Amino acid sequence: MLLTLKMEAALNQDRTHFTHQEDYLVAQAAMFELTGIESCAMTMTFALYELAKQPLLQARLRAEIRQTLGEALDITYDKVQGMHYLAMIVDETLRKYPNVPILERECTPINKKRFVALRPYADCFVRRGMPVYISNLAIHHDPQYWPEPSRFDPERFSPENRKLHMPMSYLPFGAGPHNCIGMAIAQVQIKLGLIHFLRTHRVEICEKTVDNIEFDRKFLLLSNQSDIYLSVERCL
């Protein structure tokens, strides 16, 4: 992606639209830091929290990791992609805890229309240029699409159950041409983090572990309001 941007910049000689404001550059760097590192760390935290509450799921995942890697020290991309239960764990974590709880879009009707009708789903219109906010957190917790939405169940994303998902009912990275450009690398980062940790460690709940996570409403990404405490045991 960076090479593509560099090539496009070299071809584009019109630099009048560029800005050199320091605040703008700092904001761009902060956004890469926030979305590229912080979001993955939070997803791994939520995954370990759920695995600590359900030891059988954790045991199954650790068994898959050990069976796939064996005694090998190297972790290849193919090995990561071959851990299907790990993928189910990550997908279910992103369902219950989507990094970005609200997606922002802009209404751009085709054929230069001024309005878009939402019928038969709603008796209203959306005008061109109107900002549209979609709560994927609400969609991910809608029992119409996800039975018992508060229950952490990786089997929702088994090959058989994936076929039953309603379109646009799972939006952790958005959808369409403006979905998250870092989706693929984020998923690999999350998986690698869980693999490295759970290969040699096990997590359990402790007396300070909260029963339910409360979210920080002031934070841009979905984040826990208070610390999440777990007991960690090293097991080679």
Ordered per-residue pLDDT tens for the chain, 236 residues: 545 545 555 555 555 555 556 776 776 666 666 666 788 999 999 999 999 999 999 999 999 999 999 887 889 999 999 999 999 999 999 999 999 899 988 888 877 788 888 888 888 888 999 999 999 999 999 999 999 999 999 999 999 999 999 999 999 998 888 888 788 888 999 999 999 999 999 999 999 999 999 988 877 788 888 899 999 999 87
Q: Tokens for 131, please give them.
A: 């900002």
Please tell us whether the domain made up of 52-99+136-234 is placed in CATH 3.40.190.10: no
The residue with tokens 């980062």 is: 189
pLDDT of residue 207: 95
pLDDT of residue 3: 54
Among residues 55, 27, 23, the alpha carbon closest in space to that of 198 is found at: 55
Q: Tokens for 24, please give them.
A: 């703008």
pTM: 0.82
C-alpha distances out from residue 217 to 40, 102, 137, 187, Å: 19, 12, 13, 25
Q: Count the Cβ atoms, other than its own, within 10 Å of residue 5.
A: 9
202 near 194, Cβ under 8 Å? no
pLDDT of residue 7: 57
Classify residue 41 as left (phi > 0), alpha (psi -120 to 50) or beta.
alpha
Q: What are phi and psi of 174, to 5 degrees?
A: 80, -160
Alpha helix stretches (DSSP H) within 144-210:
159-162, 183-198
* Cα distance between the two ends of the chain: 38
Q: Does residue 167 have a cis peptide bond before it, meaning omega lies within 30 degrees of 0?
A: no
pLDDT of residue 187: 93
Q: Is 180 annotated as a binding residue?
A: yes
Secondary structure (3-state) at 201 = strand
State the Cα torsion 42-43-49-54 to the nearest 10°. 180
* β-strands 115-117, 125-127 pairing: antiparallel
How far apart are the C-alpha atoms of 221 and 38, rounded to whole Å? 9
180 near 173, Cβ under 8 Å? yes
